[in-house]
Amino acid sequence: MNKFDGPILITGTAGFIGQALAKELLIRGETIIGIDNLNDYYDINLKISRIEEIKKIANKLNLKWKFYKVSIEDSLELNKIFEVHRPKTVVNLAAQAGVRYSLKNPKSYIESNLIGFFNVIENCKIFKIKNFIYASSSSVYGGNRNLPYSEINEVNHPISLYAVTKKSNELIAHSYSHLYGLPSTGLRFFTVYGPWGRPDMAPMIFTNAILNDLPIEVFNYGKMIRDFTYIDDVVEVLCRCCDKPAAVDKEFNPKIPNPSSSFAPYRLFNVGCNKPVNLMKFIKLLEKNIGKKAKIKFKPLQDGDVVETSANIDLLKDWIGYVPNTEIELGLKYFVDWYQNFSN
């Protein structure tokens, strides 16, 4: 990794992906500034444990690490952090996550994913950040049924507010890339899983239920397909993007505009495996690794959910020379091993 003349700032550092990225960048010798508001969307103790893990690595390697308990909606405090540390690379992973929760608490998505995102990117403009990377989502594809999903396709039919906010982030980023020359890279993550994962997602929900002889709710009667992406692969993608800021597409044709690139320093990439897995197969693999059968309660499709996701990852491979490749069988084994040790 090429060293920038300043630390790397990561928002959402107590989150699943944020923690994993911070640990890896510390191991690679980078100075990390972490921001997270430690909200109670899910168990705050898990978030605190993630931060403690980062601290252990920083202390063990005698590396620079600073954490701020700050919300990205707080523009004044955020500005102070930028002023003090002058980062040159910013990775924005802070967001209100979850499609289903957006049906219950839509306001939190506007506050974090729109206002918070604006505060971060505005500071990137003010402090002339050299590389801005942010989390988008496969959810932006919404009503699109042209599989595997490709970044060159339009995404104008969102089916959840969460997806709307993520697509809005992409549009805001493009305007800043054009107006201020801010290199911005949006990463559309596809169902990330692995150790230290989120407790509101299927791997942890199902594993906990199976271990405790509780029923699991399986929506759309099990007829769901997901492109699962292992956390270590996601971190490798992020690290490589840290090392390669977005650039102007010299072949961009404004008469046939490519949504994934631009005349501005702007890029969008899918981050998935392009190996979609049926939900029932996913459950069987969990059962095999846990050594217990699941008690299944089939339910209809929930509002805001898409039935199938699959990522075309050709553009990502061309850009950084790497794509996620961890097989689901191995990834779930690693996850279950971690979960059983952590829960004990």
141 is catalytic: no
User: What DSSP element (H or E) covers 337?
Assistant: helix 328-343
What is the spatial distance between Cα 125 and Cα 123, in angstroms, rounded to a whole number?
5
3-state secondary structure of 141: helix
Copy the structure tokens of residue 324: 């996620």
Instruction: Give the number of other Cβ atoms within 10 Å of residue 318's Cβ.
Output: 10
What is the spatial distance between Cα 330 and Cα 128, in angstroms, rounded to a whole number?
41
What contacts 152, CB < 8 A, 6 or more positions away?
258, 259, 260, 315
Copy the structure tokens of residue 170: 């992409």
**Catalytic residue from among 162, 176, 193, 339:** 162
Assess contact for 314 and 233: CB atoms under 8 A: no
Assess contact for 229 and 324: CB atoms under 8 A: yes
Assess contact for 87 and 8: CB atoms under 8 A: yes
SS (H, E, C) 222-249: HCCEECCEEHHHHHHHHHHHHCCCCCCC
Site of tokens 């103790």: 45
User: Which stretches does DSSP call E strand in the chain?
Assistant: 8-11, 32-36, 65-69, 89-92, 131-137, 184-189, 192-193, 215-219, 225-226, 229-230, 266-271, 277-278, 295-299
Assess contact for 41 and 111: CB atoms under 8 A: no
Which residues are catalytically annotated? 162
